[in-house]
Structure 1
């Protein structure tokens, strides 16, 4: 079996969990057989002293056919 890993950044206006989920959901639109993810970093954009956008750096692993 061969597994490929790509790095993505997911975003959300609500929280980091949604940011990770959004990255996986978007990846699943074009990738088959996603096996897992590794979250490598959490960051956020700030606007007027508040978090405006949550960001999650994720590595997505999928089976290569």
Structure 2
């Protein structure tokens, strides 16, 4: 049986939504092992003078639950 845990990450970028997603995933990978998927649950942006200045995403990151077998 395989069990996954899901956490929520909020990331942003001045370049694009894709860059915000990639940065959030890269940051999550620093502290999580076994990432198996992401779901983008919210896309927003800051706007100034009719131009997007910051892209923001909220994502759910799923990763495998590991059990410590050394007791």
TM-score (norm 1): 0.92
What SS class does the counterpart of residue 33 from structure 2 fall into? coil
Q: What 5-or-longer segments of structure 1 have no aligned partner?
A: none
Q: CA RMSD in A?
A: 0.9
Corresponding residue number in structure 1 for 2:49: 48
Structure 1 runs of 4+ aligned residues shifted over 2 Å read none
More strand by share: 1
TM-score (norm 2): 0.85
How many residues align? The count is 65
Q: What 5-or-longer segments of structure 2 have no aligned partner?
A: 67-71
